[in-house]
Amino acid sequence: MSSNVNTVKVTSSNANLQVDPDYSKEIFLKQLGEHVYQRNMKKINAEFFNVTYGSFVRTLIEFYDNDAEKCNEKLKAMGENIGSRLIDDFYSKVTNQIPRCSNLKDLGNTIAYVGFKMYINVVPKVFVDEGNKTIKFRFDNNANIFNKFVELPDDIKEKRLYYSNIISGVIQAALAGIALKCDVEFISDTLLDDQSTEIQISNVKRIKDEVPMGQ
């Protein structure tokens, strides 16, 4: 099947996306994430997911006697266990399709447009500060699916329980799987009456000599 310049070419249901060399990398990543999500990802009922995850967090809060700090640590640790395995699944679905990440902007866009889209069908806004080596993901208008149908008690809000902190662990461990050491944390959450939900990646460093993402 032929393709015009600046259009994505798909030759079969399992085919790779092919792109003109001059095509915008950002647009390509958006279309790649959508392509993989639609064709290669198993879907689950959103309400079932929210109820199941909510029940788990509620049990965790009770187990740690409303200690938000311990709950945050446990959620992140669980996310790290998932992320260390998820990176292999990620590569199995996008092998030879992810462009090389040459800077933080590329890395942030890949996580947002492909990673988030593939696994939770959400694409956050990406903000990159190359000078401070930080990436921020902002979920506007309650776009974070973990937060849907959720309202936290006032005492837990005051203690800053990050309900979706499992996500930060997933990202941190997944990046460690491609030899990138970093710190990942929630810096705001609408469930805590903040204006937006934001996750920040900071202190990004390569920890060993491995081939960069996309090569």
**Residue of 130, 165, 144 lying closest to 60 (CA atoms):** 165
Within a domain: residue 16?
A: no
**Beta-carbon contacts of residue 108 (< 8 Å; ≥ 6 apart):** 126, 127, 128, 135, 137, 201
Q: What is the mean pLDDT of the chain?
A: 85
pLDDT at 49 over 60: yes
Look up the pTM and report it: 0.84
| CB hemisphere CA count around 213 (13 angstroms) | 28
What CATH number is attached to the domain comprising 133? 3.30.1380.20
What number is the average pLDDT over the span 170-182? 95
Within a domain: residue 11?
A: no
Within a domain: residue 7?
A: no
What number is the average pLDDT over the span 112-132? 93
Within a domain: residue 87?
A: yes
User: Where does the pLDDT of residue 186 fall: very low under 50, low under 70, confident under 90, or very high at 90 and above?
Assistant: very high
Count of the separate structural domains present in the chain: 1
Within a domain: residue 1?
A: no
User: Where does the pLDDT of residue 99 fall: very low under 50, low under 70, confident under 90, or very high at 90 and above?
Assistant: confident
d(CA 163, CA 178): 26
Within a domain: residue 124?
A: yes
Within a domain: residue 64?
A: yes
d(CA 56, CA 75): 10
Q: What is residue 156's predicted lDDT score, i.e. its pLDDT?
A: 94
pLDDT at 17 over 70: no
Within a domain: residue 5?
A: no
Range of the domain at 84: 25-206
